[in-house]
Structure 1
């Protein structure tokens, strides 16, 4: 059951007709692309002590979490094969943590939290289209 979505996508990819026909001609030199995804943050070199506690936190266990990311890109066509891109995006880094926190009096209390940092960015790029004949073949 764990890989059922992956298997379904592969079946749809290879079961689809061999040729897809796109639009006949572009109406504008500009196009917009919106990307939305889900990432796993793979949390390397744990434990990472990133929390700011008054008397200190001591992480015992950390696990990666899923986090959303997205971008909105504007493409400007230069000719049939070349385009320039400018985009805005947002992503984040997220993990779950369990540990002990000090209260300043020599005693420690257990805690659990999910930590998340958000990042925003601007991207620029160049796109070259290898097959501009508006047909895409599988296999």
Structure 2
């Protein structure tokens, strides 16, 4: 068995800064899209924060093309397609992570895919970096 080095914990201030860097675009899709580097940083940091917040291997959260993390305690998945998956676009994931979108609303509208009985547990962990629905944080 090959040992995998543990990831360095995310710095909450850096995660918040990364989300704030893309906040204007999250609030108004007509604003210029952030650079790929800004988008990738915000997506990866928020997903890895979720991974740290709820360690485990029973739910896989995918935000292609930037990141996939496993979280939430429960049965470990090792091969093939995981039974519990949440998948979102980078923008949709960041809307959820920032508290600007509700998990159930996104799921009902088809902006988010969730499969398996453990996948909805992600909703209880959101938002990761709340910026609020009203004025800027």
Instruction: Provide TM-score, normalisation by structure 2.
Output: 0.28
Instruction: Provide TM-score, normalisation by structure 1.
Output: 0.27
Is the helix fraction higher in 1 or 2? 2
Is the strand fraction higher in 1 or 2? 1
Higher relative contact order (CA 8 A, sep 6+): 1
